């Protein structure tokens, strides 16, 4: 018979910082003491969820430095539902070997099981497709997710099939290509157009104060502020005027960091939210009324943010071989772009 009191004790992890903690980041110090039970990334996730308390207060910033005597309490969440099961979901596979698989993810496909989406995800599809070729991530036969695309963002995504590939690729994505060969390019169709052909948005992101499911640009002094940098290049302008303003533009975005909803929030921050973005561009929806009877209804009915992960390049985690993959625009985005080109035949920048 299970002992309820013992189970309650197991739900908490309590630690007192000693002299070794002086000046150490809280996530690093905890990871060094709690591995293999809790990895650093898992600790960071628990902090974001409010499950880590420092001296009785929520500790949400992994960079927080410790001092001897600090009291840390981790409240472990209830066990997650059973491991995902394989499901026969079609995959557009760009490349596959014993270590990894690269797919062209369609819009509408959730990457990982979670609240409200325990089935029908990319992970379920991968378990079915890969079968015994998955040697296991952390001792469990499941695919290793090293980066994600929003449910309604399409494009290139790589998934690890074993622990080694998962570790090497995770390190590459955490580094964001600063010291390696990682390269990511996204195509975004936005309202209006930046005045300059190329530029950079350097603005920290954190949880929105009005909706916890959304991100927002926040002051860098805020405890949960996370450094975020997006580089953009205008590829086409539609409905361009003499002052270089336009009704819409196709913009290539390259990430220097990889935060949740980064491109969507950054483009909205500079006044050019993505067409179709229900979360960050709703105030611009009436602009479709200026597009006429042919294009206007198409834009109003576009069911998702117009964002596509077109390019992904990286070094193979085992062989070191350079790998580069591009996915053409999916049909819905291609038709939307063609509609803008017909509406504005001189749309090239």
CATH number for the domain that contains residue 138: 3.30.2350.10
Residue 83 located in a structural domain: no
Q: How many domains does the chain have?
A: 3
Q: Are residues 120 and 145 in the same domain?
A: yes
Q: Are residues 235 and 120 in the same domain?
A: no
Residue 86 located in a structural domain: no
Q: pTM here?
A: 0.75
Residue 101 located in a structural domain: yes
Q: Is the pLDDT of residue 6 over 50?
A: no
Residue 80 located in a structural domain: no
150 among known catalytic residues: yes
Which of 79-93, 239-253, 331-345 is least confident?
79-93
Contacts 24+ apart (CB under 8 A), 275-283: 275/189, 275/190, 275/191, 275/248, 275/299, 275/302, 275/305, 275/306, 275/336, 276/302, 276/303, 276/304, 276/305, 276/306, 277/305, 277/306, 278/305, 279/213, 279/214, 279/305, 280/214, 281/191, 281/305
Q: Report CA dihedral (259, 265, 267, 272) to the nearest 10 degrees.
A: 170
Q: Are residues 153 and 204 in the same domain?
A: no
Q: Are residues 208 and 301 in the same domain?
A: yes
Residue 273 located in a structural domain: yes
Residue 287 located in a structural domain: yes
For 325, the token pair is 């993959």
Report which of 68, 73, 44 is spatially closest to residue 56, judged by C-alpha positions.
73
Distance CA(75)–CA(96), nearest Å, equals: 39
Residue 30 located in a structural domain: yes
Q: Are residues 252 and 150 in the same domain?
A: no
On whether the CB atoms of residues 207 and 217 are closer than 8 A, the answer is no
Q: Are residues 38 and 125 in the same domain?
A: no
Domain boundary among 135, 151, 175: 175
Q: Are residues 194 and 137 in the same domain?
A: no
Q: Are residues 294 and 193 in the same domain?
A: yes
Give the structural domain span for 222: 184-318+329-343
Q: Is the pLDDT of residue 1 over 60?
A: no
What pLDDT, in 10s, does the model give residues 221-253? Answer: 998 899 999 999 999 999 988 766 799 999 999
Q: Are residues 220 and 335 in the same domain?
A: yes
Q: Are residues 29 and 9 in the same domain?
A: yes
| Annotated active-site residue in 150, 187, 277, 279 | 150
Residue 117 located in a structural domain: yes
Q: Are residues 113 and 261 in the same domain?
A: no
CATH number for the domain that contains residue 36: 3.10.290.10
For 213, the token pair is 């499911």
- What is the share, in percent, of the chain residues with pLDDT greater than 70? 90
Please indicate whether residue 142 or residue 264 has the higher confidence score (pLDDT): 264
């Amino acid at each position: 018979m299970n002992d309820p009191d013992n189970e309650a004790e197991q739900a908490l992890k309590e630690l007192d910082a000693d002299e070794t903690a002086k000046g150490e980041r809280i996530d690093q110090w905890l990871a060094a003491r709690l591995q293999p039970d809790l990895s650093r990334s898992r600790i960071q996730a628990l902090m974001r969820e409010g499950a880590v308390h420092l001296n009785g207060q929520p500790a949400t910033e992994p960079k927080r430095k410790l001092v001897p005597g600090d009291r840390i309490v981790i409240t472990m969440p209830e066990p997650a539902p059973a491991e995902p099961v394989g499901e026969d979901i079609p995959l557009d596979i760009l490349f596959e070997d014993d270590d990894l698989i690269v797919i062209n993810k369609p819009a509408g496909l959730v990457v990982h099981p979670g609240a409200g989406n325990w089935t029908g995800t990319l992970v379920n599809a991968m378990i079915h497709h890969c079968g015994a070729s998955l040697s296991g991530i952390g001792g469990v036969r499941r695919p290793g997710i090293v980066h994600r695309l929003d449910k309604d963002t399409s494009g290139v995504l790589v998934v690890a099939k074993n622990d080694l590939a998962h570790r090497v690729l995770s390190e590459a994505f955490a580094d964001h290509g600063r010291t390696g060969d990682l390269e990511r390019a996204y195509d975004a169709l936005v309202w209006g157009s930046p005045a300059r052909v190329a530029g950079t948005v350097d603005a920290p992101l954190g949880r929105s104060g009005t909706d916890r499911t959304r991100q927002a640009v926040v002051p860098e002094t805020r405890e949960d502020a996370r450094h975020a940098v997006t580089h953009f290049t205008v590829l086409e302008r539609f409905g361009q005027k003499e002052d270089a303003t336009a009704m819409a533009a196709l913009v290539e975005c390259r990430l220097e960091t990889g935060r949740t909803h980064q491109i969507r929030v950054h483009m909205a921050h500079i006044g050019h939210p993505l067409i179709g973005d229900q979360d960050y561009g709703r105030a611009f929806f009436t602009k479709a009324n200026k597009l006429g009877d042919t294009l206007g209804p198409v834009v109003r009915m576009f069911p998702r943010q117009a964002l596509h992960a077109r390019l992904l390049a990286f070094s193979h985690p085992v062989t070191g071989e350079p790998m580069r993959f591009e996915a053409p625009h999916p049909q819905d985005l291609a038709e939307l772009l063609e509609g803008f080109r017909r509406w504005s035949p001189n749309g090239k920048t």
